[in-house]
Amino acid sequence: MEMHRDSPKVFSAEVPCTGLAAAKEAAKKLVMSAPPKLMLQADACFRNRNEVRTKYRCWMNERGEFQESALV
């Protein structure tokens, strides 16, 4: 797990997945299983050589509610 300078949230460790649908499900499971105090955030990203594009993001907000967003 890693912490980003510009965010209070902790990002999950990288989990390689075969497709975007599997990556989204893995991200949801990581966030939903984390303790509420952790405020975990997970992204589902697509890698193409040196370019990485985030396609999906989910996180727990300050009230402990699950949030998700599709990114383009």
- Tens digits of per-residue pLDDT, 1-58? 566 666 767 777 778 788 888 888 888 888 888 887 778 888 888 888 788 888 898 8
Q: Which residues of 17-41 are buried (b: 16+ CB within 10 A; e: fewer)?
A: eeeeeebbebbbebbeebeeeebbb
Tokens for 43?
A: 């992204």
Q: What is the spatial distance between Cα 65 and Cα 60, in angstroms, rounded to a whole number?
A: 5
Model confidence at 68: pLDDT above 80: yes
How many domains are there within the chain? Answer: 1
Closest CA to 42 of 9, 16, 71: 9
pTM of the entire predicted model? 0.67
Residue 12's domain spans which residues?
2-70
